[in-house]
Amino acid sequence: MPQVIGVPRETAPGEKRVATVPEVVAKLVKLGFKVAVESGAGDAANFSDETYRAAGAQVVQGAARLWAEADIVFKVRAPSAEEAALMREGQSLVSFIWPAQNPQLMQQLAARKVTVLAIDSLPRMLSRAQKMDALTSMAGVTGYRAVIEAANAFGRFFNGQITAAGKIPPAKIFIAGAGVAGLAAIGTAVGLGAIVRANDTRAEVADQVVSLGGEFVKVDYAEEGAGGGGYAKVMSEGFQQAQREMYARQAREVDVIITTALIPGKPAPRLITADMVKSMKPGSVIVDLAAEQGGNCELTEPNQVVVKHGVTIIGYTDLPSRLAKQSSTLYSTNLFRLSEELCKTKDGVINVNMDDDAIRGLTVIKDGAITWPPPAPKPPAAPPSAARPAAVQAKASGAHGKSSAPASAKATAITFAVAALAFWFIGANAPAAFIGHFTVFVLACFVGYMVIWNVTPALHTPLMSVTNAISSIIAIGALVQVAPPMVETANRPTAWIVGLALVSIALVAINMFGGFAVTQRMLQMFRK
């Protein structure tokens, strides 16, 4: 019998998101599930009850009835104590849980003997888990919205302008932390015309910052900051001191600071001190994306916008909710991809497979038993090609252990000898005109090969399409054969030569137009 997925209205103050949107409801129905939505659950995200009904969902009045009828509950925020009390044995819950920060909630849910899948516990290092990664989806929205909030609080344009009233310099923005949220903020700020600088403890993100149009600011201290699961690790005291000095310099120079530094299970690191805030220019803005975990700025007040020392400090903890429709759409898509993994038989019944690394990492409670934290992921199996060099070397050796290198040299010498003999034979018997054309042909092949070999592989497709179009100069030769001569001669082309010329013209036309068409489509990929 198909299970019922219940979508309650979020009860957390200020939360506007909804766990499932009408577009995804239709996809869940195709997987075999029944979907029930609490009346008004999508109102704050501009999804009416009528749109849910049209997508195939049942609209239920009241939270108590919804929780009673649902076999699986999709939520955004972790359930409150009152919501957890509504759960019954055998139910499943999919939501943000944050088990490390909510031990009491974990105990309460375990006592109800339910199964809980914490979307925030997804093993993000698994490539196939990326489609279910709601943390990344929400972080992208957060980074975008942070720039919008900063622009709203800032006193002038982000982009530089020259007007009749004078010159307006571009705003300078510094982004601390170049994770998903930081990179989204960089792209948005660069798009608005600001000068963007960024820093991160992970050296590998420097290229990503530059590719988005930002400038990567290094810390004058050699230490690698990559941690597990795509997060940064806690750095040494020496690195932190050098980092603070760099932040102090940036605070004096820039107009906007956006901080994104978070370490799972630990308070947010303090990056911006009160003295740094005092050194900033009046009218500057700080957007602290770590406000919910204590804040990266010493003067941040969670859920508040405060002005201290002439600097506006924004500590909103609900930035994804401020783009509720977009956030809900992305989040519900992540949950749908998870549903596909849980219901591969498409019969509307989930199977929490604890042998699946992704599902095992998500499952923090299984039938009332707390299974968090999960065991360390299995190391990847050694590639089968690892032993190949030894086998190849053994095969290359002769029966008496002798190397086959002399045989390879002998084969190369024979090849060159045969080629030289072939060239001599052609030169001795072919007409002089043919020798000249053949020499040009061989040189053209060599030069063309060397030119293509030194081009970046990513550009081979557009390059080859252009060269194909240009090389269609052979159409001229075919046209010469087809066109009637101005003076009657005895050397008029025969019918089969004219036929071949016509076929050549047709193929060359395809080559020319196709080459330019492929080039145009490739160029469109790099345009906005």
pLDDT in tens, 470-506: 666 677 777 777 776 655 555 666 777 778 888 888 8
CA distance 92 to 95: 10
The reported pLDDT for the residue numbered 399 is: 45
Q: Which residues pair with 285 in a beta bridge?
A: 256, 312
Across the range 251-262, mean pLDDT stands at 96
The reported pLDDT for the residue numbered 402 is: 46
Across the chain, mean pLDDT equals 86
pLDDT in tens, 122-164: 998 888 899 999 999 999 999 999 999 999 999 899 999 988 8
Q: Angle between the 134-153 and 324-342 helix axes, to the nearest 10 degrees?
A: 170
pLDDT in tens, 330-359: 999 999 999 999 999 999 999 999 999 999
pLDDT value at 8 more than 60 = yes
The reported pLDDT for the residue numbered 489 is: 55
Burial per residue of 198-207, b for 16 or more beta-carbon CB atoms within 10 angstroms, e otherwise: bbbbbeebbe
Burial per residue of 305-340, b for 16 or more beta-carbon CB atoms within 10 angstroms, e otherwise: eeebeebbbbbbbbbbbbbbbbbbbbbbbbbbbbbe
Greatest mean pLDDT among 223-237, 291-305, 398-412, 420-434: 291-305
pLDDT in tens, 458-467: 566 666 666 6
The reported pLDDT for the residue numbered 25 is: 98
Encoded tokens for 492: 């008029």
For 304, half-sphere exposure in the C-beta direction (CA atoms, 13 angstrom radius) is 9
List the one residue out of 114, 4, 10 whose CA is nearest residue 331. 10
pLDDT value at 395 more than 80 = no
pLDDT in tens, 186-227: 999 999 999 999 999 888 899 999 999 999 999 888 776 555
Q: Compute and round to an integer the Cα radius of gyration of the chain.
A: 33
Band (pLDDT 50/70/90 cuts) for residue 403 is very low
Encoded tokens for 198: 């960024």
pLDDT value at 38 more than 70 = yes
The reported pLDDT for the residue numbered 392 is: 45
CA distance 52 to 216: 46
Q: Which contacts qualify for 199-206: CB closer than 8 Å, 24 or more apart? A: 199/174, 199/175, 199/243, 199/246, 199/247, 199/250, 200/225, 200/232, 201/225, 201/226, 201/232, 201/233, 201/235, 201/239, 201/243, 202/178, 202/226, 202/232, 205/178, 205/179
- Judged on CB neighbours under 10 Å (0-12, 13-18, 19+), 344 is exposed
Q: Assess whether the previous peptide bond of 373 is cis (omega < 30° from 0).
A: yes
In this structure, of 34-43, 134-143, 225-234, the range with the lowest mean pLDDT score is 225-234
pLDDT value at 71 more than 60 = yes
pLDDT value at 361 more than 50 = yes
The reported pLDDT for the residue numbered 503 is: 85
The reported pLDDT for the residue numbered 314 is: 98
The reported pLDDT for the residue numbered 477 is: 73
Across the range 308-315, mean pLDDT stands at 97
The reported pLDDT for the residue numbered 441 is: 76
Q: What is the pTM of this model?
A: 0.72
CA distance 240 to 224: 12
Encoded tokens for 387: 């032993």
Band (pLDDT 50/70/90 cuts) for residue 457 is low
